[in-house]
């Protein structure tokens, strides 16, 4: 126990006070300006190479010069932590001396010999009653719980063994800390660590926004007739944000956008006028010029996070108007212009009502005899895709009543409709595809893959409600007998010929295991080696799905009303195997020369590592009683110790504050 007379330790730089020297030492690291990685194009410097590569994506000097992002070096080994940081299991800045050795006033060496490290640091081994690497000593717990302390210490050692060497503990939940505090879709998903939102090409948007929209001669019933005679070719001048259409192609696509704008306005005019008063700004949102920008933003800023539409065969002229509406709303929410963002938010409730009043969501839609060949129609799949985007839009951009309505009512209806369509339909035909495939067969395969990906993302949405809002799962893992999503090169193929080339590069995809089989293998005492090998070669999206599925299993374990002890063994096994597979995945990306990797690095599934780490934190915390947990966190800084995770037992919460509090506490305690 800390005594009343315990001296208060103050930081010599900012005067922040601490009760423990370990906390002061960890805090002092934040004041050391050791940034060895410099930008080749400007004066920016960074502590980590991943932060530097993220900077390169938006570096103004690099963009202005037209130079490509430098390729990763594939030769040699990564920089290793110094001997002292390795023995302490600390992140190392790899300086000379490193920041850790500088604070400890110890010699900083890089011999890398395990025997030498052990002999030189033998006196700094963790004592039995101390949480390794956390600075939380035995006095933080009640005196009567020595046995529990020892168990917790062993558990923490086990957990620390899964922390990658050299990974800064204070940045392990960098993305999720922002995610749980973000107030919008763009802020949550397009977050760049330590730099906030990535900087878009502002000049492009400003140039488009500067032109006045010719509404003077338009009527409310058709405010876009002025666009039918003349198409502004400048809309297609930016090759980074749109396809490089020229000449007749640009005119054709833009005329399609005019038709789509008219169709969308005709659909929404009456619902809008019954809810809000008419204003020129409201009509302006639906202009072909704006809708073109929104669609560009959808593809360039959102698509990588949720690739459920096949871009190469996306048909603007024939796509569902509801899907087009939600794609436009998502794109507008990605825009740096507040007028776009606010205009989209005004339309959310109207589009939501239109989607969920669709016949697909009616109670009688699937009564009677079901014809499986009619369920997976293009129209039905696109309606589900529109509903998927709408759930995300209302979750992040909607009003408080809309968020509650989506979380507790609309999403339940959404899952019921998906289940009625038949989850078992989301599988490809097994067997060889031959050496050639015609266009019709390819498009049939694409439609089936879109269904698989859409069902997969509905499951991810359900898992997100479980993880961040403590909602009871609407979907049961056992019913997810769907195929895994195919590799991105296969899905993104633009022609049947490209598809066959890609599928030959991934022969195992002809007989993929089901999602349920993969999760079962991860948890099993004796796993199926063939499936386990398949898991190790899986994409980030599928590994992300596995990680969220494990969260669902943890939810059921922790909330089960049973006198039996928690069966965390299979869950820990699953996380161990998952982490091995994730390491294989990240290493293959690092050593790949694919030009799509830089874009995929920022995709939401690439954050799966933090989700797995959060799952492990939930498991470790479950072994501590409320009294033990409170005793551990009471000495944390005030902004962290303020009820971290205290309300995690409250079901179906509307905010993410409890999860954010738990993450903050875990960050400071180094429990993972």
HEC-encoded secondary structure of 469-536: HCCCCCCCHHHCCCECCCCHHHHCCCCHHHHHHHHHCCHHHHCCCEHHHHHHHHHCCCCCHHHHHHHH
Q: Which residue has the higher pLDDT, 182 or 36?
A: 182
DSSP E strand boundaries for 505-638: none
Residues 460-488: b if buried by 16+ CB within 10 A, e if exposed = bbbbbbbbbbbbebbbebeebebbbbbbb
Is the preceding peptide bond at 97 cis, omega within 30 degrees of 0? yes
Whether the pLDDT of residue 3 is over 90: the answer is no
- Give the H/E segment covering residue 407: none
Give just the sign of the alpha carbon dihedral 591, 194, 95, 57: positive
Distance CA 410, CA 412 (A): 5
pLDDT above 70 covers what percent of the chain? 67
User: Which structure tokens are listed for 387?
Assistant: 């509903």
Instruction: Please report the pLDDT score of residue 214 as a whole number.
Output: 38
Beta bridge pairs of residue 664: none
Of the listed ranges 75-84, 563-572, 662-671, the least confidently predicted one is 75-84
Cβ atoms of 421 and 461 within 8 Å: the answer is no
Q: Is 336 contained in some domain?
A: yes
Question: Is the pLDDT reported for residue 546 higher than 70?
Answer: yes
Whether 18 has a pLDDT exceeding 60, the answer reads: yes
Distance (Å, rounded) from C-alpha 572 to C-alpha 550? 10
Confidence of residue 510 (pLDDT cuts 50, 70, 90): low
Whether 386 is covered by a domain: the verdict is yes
For residue 583, being part of any structural domain is answered with no
Q: What's the CA angle centered on 317, arms 311 and 321, to 5 degrees?
A: 90
| 59 contact partners, CB below 8 Å, separation of at least 6 | 39, 41, 42, 44
Q: Which residue has the higher pLDDT, 452 or 40?
A: 452
pLDDT at 172 (0 to 100): 79
Helix (H/G/I), strand (E/B), else coil: 9:
strand
- The predicted model gives 439-453 an average pLDDT of 94
Residue 288 lies in a domain: yes
C-alpha 375/C-alpha 358 separation (Å) is 15
pLDDT tens figures, 393-417: 999 999 999 999 999 999 999 999 9
Overall average pLDDT of the 87-98 stretch = 71
The per-residue pLDDT for 365 is 53
- Output 525 or 644, whichever has higher pLDDT: 525
Phi, psi of 196 (to 5 degrees): 70, -145
Contacts of 607 (CB under 8 A, 6+ apart): 175, 176, 179, 544
Q: Inform me whether the pLDDT recorded for 236 exceeds 70.
A: no
Range of the domain at 298: 200-364+378-398
Higher local confidence (pLDDT), 560 or 257: 257
132: phi then psi, degrees, rounded to nearest 5: -60, 130
Q: Which residue's structure tokens are 């599925």? A: 549
Q: Residue 41: which pLDDT band, with cuts at 50, 70 and 90? A: confident
pLDDT band at 277 (very low <50, low <70, confident <90, very high): low
CA distances 581 to 315, 464, 546, 548, Å, are 37, 22, 11, 15
Residue 123 lies in a domain: no
pLDDT tier at 143, thresholds 50, 70, 90 = very low
Confidence of residue 520 (pLDDT cuts 50, 70, 90): very high
Cβ-based burial of 543 (10 A; exposed 0-12, middle 13-18, buried ≥19): buried
Beta bridge partners of 192: 196
Q: How high does pLDDT run on average in the chain?
A: 75
Average pLDDT over residues 1-20: 71
Mean pLDDT in residue range 340-347? 93
- Measure the CA–CA gap between 348 and 329, rounded to whole angstroms: 8
> For 580-628, how does the pLDDT look when each residue is reduced to its tens digit (9 = 90+)?
999 988 776 655 555 455 556 689 999 999 999 999 988 888 887 777 7
Q: Which pLDDT belongs to residue 280?
A: 62
- Please report which confidence band the pLDDT of residue 119 belongs to, taking 50, 70 and 90 as the band edges: very low
Nearest 5°: CA angle at 253, between 251 and 259? 100
What residue has token string 């192609």?
249
Q: Residue 291 falls within a domain, yes or no?
A: yes
pLDDT of residue 432: 65
Number of residues written out for the chain: 672
The segment with the largest mean pLDDT, out of 20-24, 225-229, 333-337, 591-595, is 333-337
**What pLDDT score does 141 carry?**
36
Name the strand (E) or helix (H) holding 10.
strand 9-10
pLDDT at 649 over 80: no
Non-local (6+) Cβ contacts of 131 within 8 A are 137, 152, 153, 156, 669, 670, 671
Distances (CA, A) of 230 to 223, 234, 239, 251, 599: 15, 12, 21, 9, 35
Say if residue 124's pLDDT is above 90: no
Model confidence at 562: pLDDT above 50? yes
Task: Summarize pLDDT for 309-328 with one digit per residue, the tens.
Answer: 999 999 999 999 999 999 99
**Residue 63: what pLDDT?**
65
Q: Which of 198, 165, 53, 41 is nearest to 601 (CA)?
A: 53
Q: How many CB atoms lie within 10 A of CB 549?
A: 24
Query: Is 620 or 449 the better-scoring residue by pLDDT?
Result: 449
pLDDT given at position 37: 79
Assess whether pLDDT exceeds 80 at residue 444: yes
Between 497 and 46, the more confident residue is 497
Domain total in the chain = 1
Q: Which of 248-262, 284-298, 549-563 has the highest mean pLDDT?
A: 284-298
Does residue 172 belong to any structural domain of this protein?
A: no
Residue 636 clears pLDDT 90, i.e. is over it: no
d(CA 546, CA 585) in angstroms, rounded, equals 14
Using a pLDDT cut of 90, give the percent of the chain over it: 39
517 belongs to a structural domain: no
DSSP assignment of 287-345 equals: SHHHHHHHHHHIIIIIGGG---S-GGG--TTTS-HHHHHHHHHHHHHH-S-HHHHHHHH
pLDDT band at 457 (very low <50, low <70, confident <90, very high): very high
Distance CA 390, CA 400 (A): 15
Least-confidence region, from 168-177, 200-209, 359-368, 415-424: 200-209
Instruction: Please give the residue that has the higher pLDDT: either 660 or 235.
Output: 660
């Amino acid at each position: 126990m800390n005594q009343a007379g315990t001296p208060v330790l103050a930081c010599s730089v900012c005067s922040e006070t601490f009760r423990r020297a370990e906390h002061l030492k960890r805090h002092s690291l934040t004041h050391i300006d050791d940034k060895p990685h410099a930008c080749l194009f400007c004066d920016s410097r960074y502590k980590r190479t991943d932060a530097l590569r993220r900077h390169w994506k938006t570096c103004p000097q690099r963009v202005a010069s037209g130079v490509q992002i430098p390729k990763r070096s594939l030769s040699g080994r990564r920089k290793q932590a110094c001997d002292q940081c390795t023995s302490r299991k600390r992140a190392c800045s790899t300086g000379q001396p490193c920041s850790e050795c500088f604070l400890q006033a110890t010699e900083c060496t890089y011999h890398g010999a395990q025997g030498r490290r052990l002999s030189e640091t033998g006196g700094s081994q963790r004592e039995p009653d101390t949480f390794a690497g956390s600075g939380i000593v035995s006095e933080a717990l009640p005196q009567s719980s020595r046995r529990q302390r020892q168990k917790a210490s062993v558990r923490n050692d086990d957990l620390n063994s899964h922390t990658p060497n050299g990974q800064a503990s204070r940045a392990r939940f960098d993305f999720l800390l922002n995610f749980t505090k973000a107030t919008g879709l763009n802020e949550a998903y397009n977050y760049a660590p330590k730099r906030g939102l990535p900087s878009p090409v502002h000049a492009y948007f400003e140039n488009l926004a500067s032109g006045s929209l010719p509404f003077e001669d338009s009527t409310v019933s058709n405010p876009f007739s002025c666009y039918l005679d003349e198409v502004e070719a400048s809309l297609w001048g930016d090759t980074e944000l749109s396809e490089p259409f020229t000449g007749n192609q640009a005119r054709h696509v833009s005329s399609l956008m005019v038709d789509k704008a008219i169709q969308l306005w005709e659909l929404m005019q009456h619902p809008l006028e019954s809810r809000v008063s008419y204003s020129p700004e409201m009509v302006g949102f639906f202009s072909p010029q704006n809708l073109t920008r929104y669609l560009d933003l959808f593809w360039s800023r959102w698509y990588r996070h949720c690739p459920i539409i096949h871009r190469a065969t996306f048909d603007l002229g024939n796509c569902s108007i509801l899907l087009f509406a939600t794609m436009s709303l998502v794109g507008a929410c990605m825009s740096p212009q507040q007028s776009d963002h606010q205009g989209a938010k005004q339309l959310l409730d109207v589009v939501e009502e239109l989607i969920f009043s669709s016949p697909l969501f009616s109670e009688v839609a699937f009564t009677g005899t079901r014809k499986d060949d009619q369920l997976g129609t293009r129209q039905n799949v696109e309606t589900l895709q529109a509903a998927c985007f709408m759930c995300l839009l209302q979750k992040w951009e909607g009003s408080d009543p809309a968020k509650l309505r989506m979380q507790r009512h609309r999403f339940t209806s959404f899952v019921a409709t998906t289940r009625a369509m038949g989850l078992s339909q989301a599988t490809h035909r097994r067997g060889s595809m031959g050496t050639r495939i015609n266009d019709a067969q390819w498009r049939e395969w694409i439609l089936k893959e879109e269904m698989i990906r859409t069902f997969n993302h509905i499951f991810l949405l359900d898992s997100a409600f479980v993880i961040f809002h403590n909602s009871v799962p609407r979907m049961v893992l056992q019913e997810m007998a769907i195929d895994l999503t195919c590799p991105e090169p296969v899905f993104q193929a633009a022609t049947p010929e490209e598809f066959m080339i890609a599928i030959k590069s991934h022969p195992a995809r002809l007989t993929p295991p089901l999602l349920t089989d993969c999760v079962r293998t991860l948890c099993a005492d004796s796993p199926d080696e063939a499936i386990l090998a398949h898991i190790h070669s899986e994409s980030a999206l599928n590994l992300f799905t596995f990680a969220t599925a494990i969260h669902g299993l943890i939810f059921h374990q922790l909330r089960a009303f049973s006198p039996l002890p928690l069966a965390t063994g299979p869950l820990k096994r699953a996380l161990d195997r998952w982490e091995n597979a994730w390491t294989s995945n990240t290493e293959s990306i690092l050593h790949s020369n694919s030009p799509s990797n830089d874009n995929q690095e920022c995709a939401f599934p690439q954050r799966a590592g933090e989700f797995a780490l959060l799952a492990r934190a939930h498991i470790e915390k479950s072994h501590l009683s409320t009294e033990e947990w409170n005793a551990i966190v009471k000495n944390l800084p005030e902004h962290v110790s303020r009820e971290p995770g205290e309300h995690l037992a409250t079901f179906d919460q509307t905010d993410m504050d409890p999860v954010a509090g738990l993450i903050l506490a875990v960050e400071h305690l180094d429990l993972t």
